[in-house]
Every structure is written in C-alpha cells, then in structure tokens.
Amino acid sequence: MNIDPGWGSFADSKGPWGTGGSGSGDNEPSEGPWKDGSKGSKGSSPPQQGGLSSFEEFLRRNRARWSPGGQFPGRPDGSFLLWSIVAVLCLWMLFTSTHSIAPEQRGVVTRFGRYVYTLSPGVGMTLPSPIERVKKIDVESIRTSDLGSGSEEDLMLTGDQNLINIAYSVRWNIRDPQLYLFELKDPDGTLNQVAESAMRSVISQVSLSDAMGDKRIEIEDKAAQITQQILDRYHSGIQVQGVAIKQADPPAAVTDAFKDVQAAQQDAQKYVNRANASAFQTIAKAQGEAAAFDKVYAQYKLAPEVTRRRMYYDTMEQVLSKVPKTIVEAPGVVPYLPVTSGEAAPQPQSQQGQGQ
C-alpha cells in the first residue's frame, strides 16, 4: 500500500540522485543504489525500497536547498537536517513496530501479506510497518445481527405447513481472528445467511404452536447449534453465543383467527366458571333445604299430629289472609261469582279438601 506514495514522490523528486544514495548507507543496511535493487537478493523488499525512496527524496530536496555543493551527508556540518530525518525515521520505525493491543483485541500480524502470529493484549513488537502489519480485531465484544421480520413480514413455513412471522437475533463474537480475516470473503454476510438457513430448517421441523409457544428455547438452542456447526465447517472463526427469538407471531392476515382462539379459550373458561358457581349454588341450596327439612322433621317426629295441624293452619292462614275468598254455603249450588278485580277469574279450589 505504501509502496505507491513512495514511488510517486520519487517520481516528483528533483534533487541529484547520487548523493542521496550514499546518504542512505548511513542508516539502512540495504543495497542502497537502485541499480542493485533490481538484481539484488530476493530478501530485499519493495516496501523497504519504498521507505528509502521517500527518505532519499526528502534528503535530496533538502540538499538542493541547503548544500548545493554536494558534501557528504554523513558529515555533521553537511546537514543538520539529515540527522533530523534520521530521527524521524527512527521514530517512524519505533511507532510502527510497537502496538498496544487493548484487552478485548487481538493483533493479527502479517509479514508481506503472510500471516505470522497473533498478538495478545498488551504491548507487542513487530517489524516496522511496511514489512509487518498489524490488524487489530475485537474478539471479546458480542455483536448482534438482527434477522427476520423488521419493517415487513418475514414468513417461514413451519412443519405443519403454516406460516409464522418471526424475528430473531444472533449474538456472536470472533473466536479466531486470523480465520475470521482470511477464510471467508464476507464473514458477516455469511453469518446472516447461515443463521437464516439454520433457523428456517429448525422452524420447518416444528409445528406452528410449538414455534409460537413453549418450544422457543429449544428452537433457539438448535438454531444456534446448527449455525455454529456450519460456520465451523467454513472455518469462519466465529463463535455463536446464542440465538434469540424476539417475535414469533402468526402472519397479519390470520391474526384475527388466532385472536378468536384466545377468545374461545377464555369463553370456555367462562362457561366452566359459571357452571362451577351454579353447581355450588345448587348444592348449597339442596343442603340448606335438606337441613331445614331435617330440623322440622325432628320436631314433627316428637309430636306428629299436632305439628302437622299447626303447620297446616299456619300455612292456610298465610295463604287465605292474602287472597279474596268466597265461601259457598249451599252444597251443590254453583253461584255466579263476581269478578273481583277484573283480572283473573277465581278458580275453584278443591285441593284444600285433600288435607286431612
């Protein structure tokens, strides 16, 4: 990456070439002049050259400004700026070779693109930037991917061929940062796809009521497990922490029918409650009446005839005192009776006679 700026700045340079080359010998053990670079050992690296080129360019520019005589750069009076450049270079090396890795991070180190090792939290040392690069990856923090229905319905088919509108989220973190970086082209997108596939395959094996109801936890566990299995097969370096179903509803088009089921359940409960109340009432009434009868009967037993007559007269008294009465003296004569109140015709009462 930083080859290009070095190269570009070199092209812009205007200073004399040779002096810069000799100056580089002071601080870098490289082959120096470019002619050797092309045929030099394979170990010599373009980025190193790139670093040198920018340095030399800087040097040359300053040389042209301050000491056009072309003195040797190593001489202290030759260039004060040269030493400051060396200092800057040293600082650059220092800063790009020490890396502080936060506790939740790991540093994946690549040397010319090849993975070498992973830095643990703390301060880590590497070769300076163009040679070794460090990519810091947060491995501890749990990320959440929300899937399923957000603004619009996301319908899944259940095992009993019903549809369910489901929203869920996957919590995950990075287990192996180097796998995460190098194995999958799009690890985050892969995770989403895998999780959706896993959730759908789990949902397709359970019934609608299970998915909406008490089997949610099992479904979550199973989806997480399947997701993890698939991701491991990809060597994704992702650890699934869990799947959470946020919402599992019937589709909006049939919500009313589902609500009716709830209402029916409440209705059924209502019927039973009412029946229970009424049953209690019936039994209580029976018990009360039976108890009353028993009490009276106990007294009746003591003096049957008297009690019976007393009860008869009591009752008759109450009855006859409240109603209009006609007493017909002559037997066999049916009198024409006045209609007393104009409402109900009096009825002949004959059952009175049945009482003994």
Partner 1 sequence: MEAVRRHPWIVAIAGAIVLWLVFLAFPIVPETRQAVVVRFGKPERILNEYKPGRQIGAVGAGISWRIPFVDQIVWIDKRILDVDMQTQNVLSTDKRWLQVDAYARYRIVNPLLMYVRATTEDNLQAQLKTILGSDVRNELGKQPFAALLSPERQGVMDDIRNELNDDASKYGVEIVDVRIKRTDLPDGAPLQSAYESMSTAREQEARSIRAEGMKKAQIVQAQADADAAKIYAESYGKDPQFYDFYRAMQSYKVTFVGGADGKAPAPTAIILSPKDDYLKQFTGEAR
28 binds partner 1 (CB under 8 A): no
**Nearest residue (CB) to partner 1, 103 versus 262:** 262
DSSP one-letter code for 354: G
Q: How far apart are CA 44 and CA 38, in angstroms?
A: 9
| Closest CB 183 distance from partner 1, rounded Å | 6
Closer residue to partner 1, CB minimum distance, 120 or 269: 269
Check if the beta carbon of residue 171 is closer than 8 Å to that of residue 242.
yes
| Residue 213 sits in the site that holds partner 1 (CB under 8 A) | no
Of 71-79, 95-103, 211-219, 315-323, which part binds partner 1 (CB under 8 A)?
Answer: 315-323
Are the CB atoms for 2 and 53 separated by under 8 Å? no
Q: Is 152 in the site for partner 1 (CB under 8 A)?
A: no
- Shortest Cβ 136–partner 1 spacing (Å): 16
Binding-site member from 86, 234, 244, 249 for partner 1 (CB under 8 A): 234
State which H helix or E strand residue 133 sits in: strand 132-138
Residue choice 42, 150, 151, 336 for contact with partner 1 (CB under 8 A) = 42
Q: How far apart are CA 144 and CA 148, in angstroms?
A: 13
Q: What is the DSSP string of 187-239?
A: HHHHHHHHHHHHHHHHHTTS-HHHHHTTTHHHHHHHHHHHHHHHHHHTT--EE
Q: Which part of the chain contacts partner 1 (CB under 8 A), choosing from 87-95, 139-147, 238-246, 268-276?
A: 268-276
Binding segment (CB under 8 A) for partner 1, from list 99-107, 138-146, 217-225, 346-354: 346-354
Please state the φ and ψ torsions of residue 230, each to the nearest 5 degrees: -65, -45
Question: 146 with 199: CB under 8 angstroms?
Answer: no
CA–CA distance, 307 with 296 (Å, rounded to integer): 9
Binding residues with partner 1: total (CB under 8 A): 130
| Choice between 141 and 318, CB closer to partner 1 | 318
Out of 123, 141, 150, 161, which residue is the one contacting partner 1 (CB under 8 A)? Answer: 161
**Under rule CB under 8 A, residue 247 binds partner 1:** no
Q: How far is CA 223 from the centre of its chain?
A: 13
Window 61-100: residues binding partner 1 (CB under 8 A): 70
